[in-house]
Amino acid sequence: MSIKDIKDQLSRNSNFIGDEIPDELRNEKYNVLIQLGRKLSNNDFSEDSNKEAILKKIKNDIKIKGEYSMNRTGKIRRITVTAASLALVLITLMQTTFAQELIVKVKNSISLRNITATQVEHPQKDMYPLPDELKGKIFDKNGNPLEVMPDAGEVYTADGEKIVDFSNGQVITAAEKAKIDQEGKLVVKDSDKLNEYTCFKVILPGYLPAGYKFDRAEFYKDNEGNVSRTKYIDLIFTNETTGNHFFMQQRFSDEETAYEFSTEDVIEKIKINDSDAVISEGNHGKGIDWEYNGVLYGLNGRGNVDKSELIKIAESIK
């Protein structure tokens, strides 16, 4: 269910806030919003109320389901039915300062048809305690167990192995992820063969910064271990002298591949050739997302390519 669908459905069925939700309306994202609506409607948000205490109680009562994951810049984030999307719906339903601060503070949002970017400001980190299934599994570099998700920095297992991802309450180390990637991905080094695997035309940048060249493409295998007419391709470009690299994903544009992302970096709407694009820039690197000729492009400089060069790379795809 898309965010627009949720908004429309909530608008049509707001009378269910105080009643039982019909089975045909049940959906995890939708039910979370209904729970939030019920909790909010039963609390006092007057000027003299203790909003911080109310917020903590609501979050503890609802226990929103979600996973922790690495975002596209490598920083750990918490996905709670996508926090930014949930906040956007709440803001739509409740035009109050408290609603805007309930999950995250949304500072800016840019929509490009099949791409939505949201600039957010997260609450204090103590509002994101570790879920029970991750407690005792995540440590800092000194071996101290963590009780909340860190705002930044690396996290480790009790044995000192670097954790790079989380899935279904389990940690995934760098070594485990490398094995998963090896088994679940097809790596192609020959750039002339990329279009043999996709359902759309792959266009490599006509411009690369000095020292960079195409390194490899990675495709996700299907359940049978094959890659055929896929909608996704990951491209990695490497500077052999420095070892630095930048990343680009291309995906066929449709309802299935449409995506949203949230970031604490500043986002801005720009033009890439004649197409609208979103550029993000801040402590977590730089990136550009745009759609061109039926293909979605996500370009991530990973802090290795400056803003002007990143724009040149994007503009050379035509």
Instruction: Find the mean pLDDT for residues 283-292.
Output: 90
Look at the block and give the residue holding tokens 């906040």.
87
* Residue 192 predicted with pLDDT over 70: yes
* Residue 64 predicted with pLDDT over 90: no
Confidence of residue 196 (pLDDT cuts 50, 70, 90): very high
* Residue 61 predicted with pLDDT over 60: no
- Evaluate if pTM is beyond 0.85: no
- The rounded distance, in Å, linking the Cα atoms of 225 and 249 is 21
Span 100-111, pLDDT tens digits: 444 557 788 999
Longest dimension (CA), the chain: 66
Contact 78, 70 (CB under 8 A): no
Angle at 198 between CA 280 and CA 315, to 5 degrees: 35
All domains in the chain, ordered by first residue: 1-103 (no CATH), 180-315 (3.30.200.100)
* Residue 230 predicted with pLDDT over 50: yes
Least confident among 121-125, 201-205, 208-212: 121-125
Span 97-143, pLDDT tens digits: 444 444 557 788 999 999 998 888 766 555 556 777 888 999 998 99
